Chains A and B, each alone.
Chain A
Amino acid sequence: GAVVSQHPSRVICKSGTSVKIECRSLDFQATTMFWYRQFPKQSLMLMATSNEGSKATYEQGVEKDKFLINHASLTLSTLTVTSAHPEDSSFYICSATDSPRGSQHFGDGTRLSIL
């Protein structure tokens, strides 16, 4: 159980394009979802915390208008990278939890490459 599906797994697109990444909890209702970014050989950096039906809470230094997060249901959260540029190229990973302080279940990640 506790499967999180993230789609797409890889995106290559031109600078200026907006990219949407989906994160779905397949067999549980996710009260909270998290979005991380990971650069090569570095740790996962928390970008934002998303609760269903409310605005996402962004970490310091993360641009809200650049990284739009929507958590429309208990099983789906989306991250949209707006007007992406090469410096936005990274590995984006979502996770979900079904209870406060529960363990987080990670999606397989999305490798975003902006040309």
Chain B
Amino acid sequence: GQSLEQPSEVTAVEGAIVQINCTYQTSGFYGLSWYQQHDGGAPTFLSYNGLDGLEETGRFSSFLSRSDSYGYLLLQELQMKDSASYFCAVLYSSASKIIFGSGTRLSIRP
């Protein structure tokens, strides 16, 4: 079967850096994505890693190690608006469908 694990909650201070880890067990793995979801809203795409290494997009970076079945999302210079749930999601090679992790609720305090 397919499974993803990520911490349920993380708390950080405004201006700091936080890393959200994700481990997965799956067959047909193609890539790892990260999505942000604010309360009451729909998910928004943050980043995608198809190959090992680090992808940087502004304050957000994402890392993948296929050999370790592990990835992380790194958020820098945290702002209050970054308080949200963050989901890692595995993209499968067939049918281009993705399966979401359980989500990490990030709380930012001043």
Chain B residues near A107: list those with CB within 8 A. Answer: 42
User: Chain B nearest CB: distance from A11 CB in Å?
Assistant: 15
Given contacts A101-B30, A101-B91, contact A34 B97 (CB under 8 A): yes
In the assembled complex, which residues on chain B have CB atoms less than 8 Å from the CB atom of A103? 33, 45, 48
Of the four ranges (under 10, 10 to 19, 20 to 34, 35 or more), the interface on chain A belongs to: 20 to 34
Q: Which residues of the other chain, A, contact B99 by a CB distance below 8 angstroms?
A: 46
- Which A residue sits closest to B87, measured CB to CB? A43
Complex interface: chain B residues within 8 A of A6 (CB): 42
Question: In the complex the two chains form, what is the Cα distance from A102 to B95 in whole Å?
Answer: 11
B100 near A: Cβ within 8 Å?
yes
**Minimum distance in angstroms from A24 CB to a CB of chain B:** 14
A44's closest neighbor in chain B, by CB?
B100
Most chain B CB inside 10 Å of its own CB: which residue of A43, A57, A97: A43
Q: How far is the CB of A60 from chain B (nearest CB, A)?
A: 10
B42 / chain A contacts, CB cutoff of 8 Å: 6, 93, 106-109
